[in-house]
Amino acid sequence: MQKPKGFTLVEILLILVVIAMLGVVAISSFLDTTDTFNFLSSEKAFVTSVKTAKAFAVSNKDRDEYDRFGVFIDKNEVVLFGDRDPSFIFDPNDEVFNQYSFCFNPDGCTTITTAISGDQYDVTHLTGSLPMRLYFQNGTGELMAFDNNNNPLSKNDYKVFSFSFSDPTEPSYLKYLNIIYVSALIEESDEQL
């Protein structure tokens, strides 16, 4: 008698189970990678906006059209704009160059919080300090900062703006971006200055 050719039902089911398990692992890994990418792209959008505003101002870009270049920072977005009036207010008259929203995940958005420090040992958390605006004067690139009530933040009183990026769905996603007020240098860090 000849032995039947082919696979048994048990062998086929075993292979399907293995393929399903590999698929679940691959999809899970892909989703984690996507979340990480979205978080890091939010951080990079912030850095790019600040550096671009400063570069436009230092290069004296469109001096006749803009008094300064600004970055509007809110807890879930960053907007790079050209400021057309002397009021230091982000308004509809200003030209928006880029606007980045940090809501990629329906369970929660990447959020920005800020701490403004007088010196490295005294970090003051400003309640309701967002939204805030950073302005770079056209021609010089000098940084000026304003809080959510349009109050100027003095360079004598504040040394560092430390922005933390966090994701409510993943506690391990935490980065700090520190802007040194006097020089307007921005640095990435895993800890707050």
Give 7-45 pLDDT, tens digit per residue.
888 989 999 999 999 988 888 777 777 777 777 777 888
Give the DSSP H/E element, type plus range, for residue 185: strand 185-189
Please say if the pLDDT value at position 62 is more than 90. Answer: no
Give the DSSP H/E element, type plus range, for residue 16: helix 9-58
The mean pLDDT value for 46-56 works out to 90
* pLDDT for the residue 67: 86
CATH of range 11-189; options 3.40.630, 3.55.40, 3.30.1380, 2.60.120: 3.55.40
Give tens-digit pLDDT for 69-92.
999 988 778 899 998 888 888 888
Nearest to 71 by CA among 1, 118, 141: 141
* pLDDT for the residue 123: 34
Q: In what order do the strands lie in the sheet with 77-83?
A: 95-101, 77-83, 68-74, 132-137, 143-146, 152-153
* pLDDT class of 149 with cuts at 50, 70, 90: confident
Lowest-confidence region among 39-48, 100-109, 111-120: 111-120
What values do phi and psi take at 173, rounded to 5? -85, 95
User: What does pLDDT average to over the chain?
Assistant: 78
* pLDDT for the residue 38: 73
Cβ atoms within 10 Å, residue 162? 19
The mean pLDDT value for 134-141 works out to 88
Count the helices and strands in the chain (H runs, E runs).
1, 11
* 33 vs 115 pLDDT, higher one: 33
Q: What pTM, to 2 d.p., does this model score?
A: 0.72
Domain boundaries of the chain, sorted by first residue:
11-189
Residue in the block written with tokens 């004067």:
137
Q: Which residues contact 23 (CB under 8 A, 6 or more apart)?
A: none
Structure tokens at 103: 């809501």
The mean pLDDT value for 123-135 works out to 62
